Amino acid sequence: MTGSTARRVMITGANRGIGLEMARQSAAMGDEVIACCRTPMEAAELMALARETDRVSILGLDVRIERDMKPIAAGFGRALDLLVCNAGVLSGRGGVQDPEQDSRAVEDTLMTNVAGVFFTARHFLPHLLAGGEQRGTAPGKLAIISSQMGSSTRAGSGAIMYRASKAAATNLARSLAVELASQNIAVGAYHPGWVQTEMGGQEAAVTPADSAAGLLQRFAALGMGSTGVFEDYTGAVIPF
């Protein structure tokens, strides 16, 4: 991709919701998109997108399963300009006494929203670094889709383990921003807005298209001067 402004972008959880919309818009801007999802054979909308444009390819990736991710990442021979950790679950909308928040739901929440971000960042870090090394440009950037529900300053009730998992996802972004600064990798945490998806519900305030467009602009603005940022899809700063 040398000599062009197009980028190579990898997005997890790209088969529906905000991830699918980011994949669609990123490809429409000319980027090469590696759209990850855990069950490609069931990803009808994503498969249709990949048929429409050769700028989108699909990669099977369950962010919870590190033993599978490791060989997938090792066999992925391309440098990345942007890695978007978007995959997430909301397993239980209640509080401390919500019976839905059983150990299985809690495990899924923490493994997907926290460990999944960590595994993805860990195993695709070499591909972000390779961007700079192979092309003599800056390395790739890392964007973590968190949520303002993980903000301790804006603490609320409900979805208590989801809130905790997103607090941890934001914390991972901050720690990675510090750890990776010496390697010139910029890292940001993002709140996509309250978005009309399966997770957000149809009464949500923001369309997936507006959220994705805003997020892609924020990723473009991310640099070493702003690494460690926690902001929403409009660029408004979110308190930790």
Ligand X SMILES: NC(=O)c1ccc[n+]([C@@H]2O[C@H](COP(=O)([O-])OP(=O)(O)OC[C@H]3O[C@@H](n4cnc5c(N)ncnc54)[C@H](OP(=O)(O)O)[C@@H]3O)[C@@H](O)[C@H]2O)c1
Judged by CB under 6 A, does residue 145 bind ligand X? yes
Q: Rule CB under 6 A: choose which of 49, 84, 88, 105 binds ligand X.
A: 88
Start-to-end CA span in the chain (Å): 36
Q: Rule CB under 6 A: choose which of 24, 197, 215, 229 binds ligand X.
A: 197
Contact 160, 94 (CB under 8 A): yes
Q: Closest separation between CB of residue 19 and ligand X, Å? A: 5
Judged by CB under 6 A, does residue 203 bind ligand X? no
How many residues line the site for ligand X (CB under 6 A)? 30
Judged by CB under 6 A, does residue 140 bind ligand X? no
Q: Closest separation between CB of residue 4 and ligand X, Å? A: 28
Judged by CB under 6 A, does residue 12 bind ligand X? yes
Judged by CB under 6 A, does residue 222 bind ligand X? no
Residues in CB range of 9: below 8 A, 6 or more apart? 26, 31, 32, 33, 34, 80, 81, 82, 83, 84
What phi and psi values does residue 58 have, to the nearest 5 degrees? -110, 135
Q: Rule CB under 6 A: choose which of 35, 58, 89, 125 binds ligand X.
A: 89
CA distance 192 to 194: 7
Judged by CB under 6 A, does residue 16 bind ligand X? yes
CA distance 239 to 16: 28
Q: Rule CB under 6 A: choose which of 9, 18, 143, 187 binds ligand X.
A: 18
Judged by CB under 6 A, does residue 198 bind ligand X? yes
Q: Closest separation between CB of residue 221 and ligand X, Å? A: 19
CA distance 148 to 163: 8
The owner of tokens 């909301």 is: 90
Judged by CB under 6 A, does residue 39 bind ligand X? yes
- Count CB neighbours of 176 within 10 A: 24
Number of H-type helices and E-type strands within the chain: 7, 7
Give the start-end residues of each E strand in the chain. 8-11, 32-37, 56-60, 82-85, 141-145, 187-191, 230-232
Judged by CB under 6 A, does residue 92 bind ligand X? no
Q: Rule CB under 6 A: choose which of 86, 101, 109, 227 binds ligand X.
A: 86
Residue 181 vs 199, nearer CB to ligand X: 199
Residues near ligand X (CB under 6 A): 12-13, 15-19, 37-39, 62-64, 86-89, 112, 116, 145, 147, 191-192, 194-195, 197-200, 204
